[in-house]
């Protein structure tokens, strides 16, 4: 049986730790448990302000896991330098705004083309696969193609919000069109942001999406079920 790949974002384990500046819960332990539960990659967003995941965490996680490590990051020069040293399997470039609660939208590749190009070229030189987190818009996908990356991650943030059913259906169609277009352009197509055990049921029907990156809902469910069962529960929804 085929299933869509699942990347687990473990940032919220670190959010809990940083709420009290304790040494627990340890995100690296969470990464290992998620790996054992059968996910396909581990995702963390190392923010410039290190408000959840810390620099030490990413080095430890990279050492401990055997599955691919996907580092979400901004295009800030200092973070690109860190990624050059860390050498994750993949870097996903996202916009970063200090005041946001979480990533608020895709990176605008058209507006920031030159800056993104500089970061992409530096990462590619270190043989790090680059993914660009973008809104489901054709011109963004075209710009990603011009930038020469292999992966795009479509932002599902709008779709995942508590919006009227009709609006959500339209957003799902917009994501489907974007996924189809990206697939035609020969991208590996990922998607993520705000996905949970309910909305995944609709979006998993889009066959062009090859991977979902999910964090918050799974870490929340793990409070009640434990992390491994929460990961396995999401995996069960990804079977085709």
The answer for residues whose C-beta is within 8 angstroms of residue 221's C-beta and 6 or more apart is: 197, 230, 233
* Catalytic residue, candidates 12, 52, 96, 193: 193
* Residue nearer to ligand PXP on the CB measure, 11 or 57: 11
Binding segment (CB under 6 A) for ligand PXP, from list 56-64, 116-124, 174-182, 209-217 = 209-217
Determine if 5 is a binding residue for ligand PXP (CB under 6 A): no
- Active-site hit among 35, 45, 52, 208: 45
State the sign of the Cα–Cα–Cα–Cα dihedral 173, 232, 218, 9.
negative
**Sites for ligand PXP among residues 52-81 (CB under 6 A):** 72
CB of residue 155 to ligand PXP, shortest distance in Å: 7
| Sole binder of ligand PXP in the list 133, 159, 181, 187 (CB under 6 A) | 133
DSSP character string of 63-118: HH-SS-EEEEE---HHHHHHHHHH--SEEEE----TT-SS--S---TTTTHHHHHH
Binding ligand PXP (rule: CB under 6 A), the pick from 35, 40, 135, 153 is: 153
Smallest separation (angstroms) from ligand PXP to the CB of 63: 22
Coil, helix or strand at residue 41: strand
Residue with tokens 């995702």: 43
For residue 137, the cross-strand partners are: none
**Subset of 162-201 contacting ligand PXP (CB under 6 A):** 192-195
Phi, psi of 42 (to 5 degrees): -115, 135
As a whole number of angstroms, the distance between CA 221 and CA 229 comes to 9
Q: Is position 193 annotated as part of the catalytic site?
A: yes
Binders in 83-122 for ligand PXP, by CB under 6 A: 92, 94, 102-103
Where do contacts with ligand PXP occur on this chain (CB under 6 A)? Answer: 9, 11, 45, 72, 92, 94, 102-103, 133, 153, 192-195, 213-217
């Amino acid at each position: 049986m085929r299933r869509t790949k699942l990347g687990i974002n473990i940032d919220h384990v670190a959010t809990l730790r940083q709420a009290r500046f304790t040494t627990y819960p340890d995100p690296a332990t969470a990464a290992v448990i998620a790996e054992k539960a059968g996910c396909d990659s581990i995702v963390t967003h190392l923010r410039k302000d290190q408000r959840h995941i810390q620099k030490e965490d990413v080095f430890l996680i990279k050492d401990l896991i055997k599955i691919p490590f996907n580092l979400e990051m901004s295009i800030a020069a200092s973070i690109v330098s860190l990624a050059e040293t860390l050498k994750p399997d993949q870097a996903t470039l996202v916009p970063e705004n200090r005041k946001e609660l979480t990533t608020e939208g895709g990176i605008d590749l058209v507006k920031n083309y030159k800056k993104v190009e500089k970061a992409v070229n530096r990462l590619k030189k270190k043989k790090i696969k680059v993914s660009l987190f973008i809104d489901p818009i054709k011109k963004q996908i075209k710009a990603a193609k011009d930038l020469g990356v292999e992966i795009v991650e479509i932002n599902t943030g709008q779709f995942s919000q508590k919006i009227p059913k009709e609006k959500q259906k339209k957003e799902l169609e917009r994501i489907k069109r974007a996924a189809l277009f990206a697939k035609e352009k020969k991208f590996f197509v990922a998607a993520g942001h705000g996905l949970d055990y309910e909305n995944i049921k609709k979006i998993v029907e889009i066959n062009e999406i090859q991977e979902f990156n999910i964090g918050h809902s799974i870490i929340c469910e793990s409070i009640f079920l434990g992390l491994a069962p929460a990961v396995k529960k999401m995996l069960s929804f990804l079977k085709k």
